[in-house]
Structure 1
């Protein structure tokens, strides 16, 4: 009877453990959704082994968990290494581990989730803008020292707007303030800030622009890390100063602005000097100028007294007389030398004149000599060059005659 019950309960189609595991593996690993799936959760534990990193990913409330593995060949490609306590977004596929009858997520990529994801996007955008040179120091312009018109971009309902007005009016009465309202929190904030900046530029009166907001959480200040806002500030034709958040916060808008401080009040204090401080500085300059003039006068008087004492000791009148006598003697010497050289030059000139006169052909002819020239103008030097009947020109000391050869004697 026992045999009959066993035969009726256990069918002939019963699977082995291996067969069942293979079937489960087929169902899980061939499912198109599970072959490439994104999963978000918190890393509850992580252990390194020789083959890779094994960790557990669970929901924050602990209601569900899944085992994960990132093999060594994939670890270097992960954007974020899983560490216990971190929120991650995991990309992977479901794999079955037959020896233990377990399934696990084989990880291809791990990204920060929540605040971590925002930090990653912030760093990526910052690196890209940094490579473009938007944060370079040479791009930054100096703020005008005494602006008369200042534009403010912030929320009309924010305490920052009231703080800025109060500070500017207290420090520099009579200042012209242009207010360009904008939303500084939420999804609409980046576009609103960009339009507010464009309004200020179109108006054309402002000499400096304050972009401001009070403190807030990372999410509330996210609009100041928006690429549209950063590029609008970089392209703004007016010098920009930011007063966003508190000292611990640093936005991309701060990095691209020409100047940045940590509060709206500090921004207002930076763009204009206090009249009381200017008056104090003026009085200090007046006092310093008086002291400088007095010191210069006393120094000049001391130098004059010193020179007078030196003159009295040197007996300048005697020195002048000695120098005058010396100059007279040198003048006499110069005249004597000049007259001697002039006489020598005259004698040499007369000698040269006499030599020149003795060599002058006309002087020779004056003594009875003559110059005989042929018809072509050449001087006749030998009788053999002449022929009977040839006409010759004879130059005498005074005048010329033309003769004809009647006989040639060699």
Structure 2
């Protein structure tokens, strides 16, 4: 069957046909203007990679090898990636779809790459760990010390887990009579973080426990994901009660282990850490008693030796004779002191007697006893001479045994009479 077109039809087709560039531009506009393709996440596996000076070119395909797409990470973007693409690794990449007109091929311009599957979980773990570490939740300074002999212990774990039985058995063997509070929780699955947080809060609100054990009997890495949950980590960090973790894994390290006050690998080890063994305490007590006897005995022996040494030195020094001489010297000084004091006392008595007699001589009353009198005027002034008196004055005469009042009737000037007699004697 032949296909023939008329000249007019050929001319029409020629006028309406697109060029390769036009078709490519049309497809490029459809691809690059699509809002879903401007920023898209794609999951796959790196099948080949070529590090060029302008950037990293690699092929990204489905793990089963079905479909593939060309990708490029420009040199300026490489330092911002969470992980560099390597052949054989599964990644989740973020980019925008672009069309390369020269070859009519499309490629994915990559902005960010993240590990997929287990790698993605590891990335999330590392990012959360770094953020919590910056906040200081893992600092040694904030960790609380454990009580040496707690009487009440709380346990947070699953009631059906072997960990709960191991902890009970260990605590009973090591420290009989211990009060154990059980706060059950789901320790696996999506509900585990919420359940663990509630169990810890129940213990804290109860206010009886002195220390708390958070435990699980081991398991696969994915089964322990709840102990890397930020809610659980913060609940452990904010708990006012010291927390010991015994998650049950030897090699893996959970974020709860890092924030806990103490961590061990197994539930049994946690129970052994939280309380001492009675047998060990008794043995330590016996050792202390023995050590105390030895120390006291050594102290007594040392004291006796020092006392004997001092006694021997005293004997060699002859202190008895020196003490006797000192006592004799003190006795002689005492006698001299007594003699001197007695003599001084006698002299003082004699001096006092002399002063007494002198005062008695000067006593006006003593003069009155010898027959003298004291004459006072009416104003109380002592009359010392006759010239101070006039006839008619009243006088008070004080005698030895009383007083009398008199009136002056005549005044004789004794000194004037004595002068007159002297003059008459001279004339005669």
TM-score normalised by the chain length of structure 2: 0.70
1:152 aligns with 2:158: no
Greater shift, 310-319 or 61-70, is seen at 310-319
Following superposition, the deviation at residue 226 of structure 1 comes to 1.5
Of the candidates 52, 56, 60, which is equivalent to residue 53 of structure 1?
56
For the residues of structure 2 that align with 1:251 and 1:284, how far apart are their CA atoms?
A: 40
Secondary structure, counterpart of 1:143 in structure 2: coil
Partner of 1:64: 67
Gaps (5+ residues) in structure 1?
336-410
Q: Larger Cα Rg: Structure 1 or Structure 2?
A: 2
Which of the numbers 213, 224, 245 marks the counterpart of 2:248? Answer: 245
Q: Report what 1:30 is aligned to.
A: 33
1:83 is the counterpart of 2:83: no
CA apart distance, 1:92: 0.6
Partner of 1:287: 290
Query: Does 2:202 match 1:199?
Result: yes
CA RMSD of aligned residues (A): 3.1
Q: Deviations over 1:85-116 (max 9, x none)?
A: 33322111111223333221101122232222
Instruction: Point out the structure with the larger helix share.
Output: 2
Mark the CA change 1:301 to 1:173 in structure 2 (over 3 Å): closer, same or farther: same
Q: How does the TM-score come out when normalised to structure 1?
A: 0.73
The SS at the match of 2:37 is: coil
Partner of 2:238: 235
Q: For structure 2, list consecutive stretches of 5 or more residues without a partner in the other structure.
A: 338-428
Q: Partner residue of 1:276? A: 279
Match of 1:162 in 2: 165
Match of 1:103 among 106, 123, 132: 106
Greater shift in the superposed pair: 257-266 or 96-105: 96-105
Is residue 240 of structure 2 the alignment partner of residue 222 of structure 1? no
How far apart in 2 are the matches of 1:37 and 1:111? 13
Offset, 1:328: 9.6
Describe the SS at the equivalent of 1:134.
coil
User: Is the aligned partner of 1:213 residue 2:216?
Assistant: yes
* Alpha-carbon offset, residue 324 of structure 1: 6.7
Quick one: structure 1 residues 267 and 3, their matched pair in 2 at CA, closer, same or farther if it must change by over 3 Å? closer
Structure 2 residue aligned with 1:174: 177
CA distance in structure 1 between the aligned counterparts of 2:176 and 2:88, rounded to whole angstroms: 54
Give the Å deviation of 1:70: 0.8
In the other structure, the counterpart of 1:189 is: 192
Q: Using the TM superposition, give the Cα deviation of residue 3 of structure 1 relative to its aligned residue in structure 2, in angstroms.
A: 11
In structure 2, distance between residues paired with 1:322 and 1:45: 115
| Residue 265 (structure 1) aligned to one of 263, 268, 272 | 268
Give the drift of 1:5: 8.5
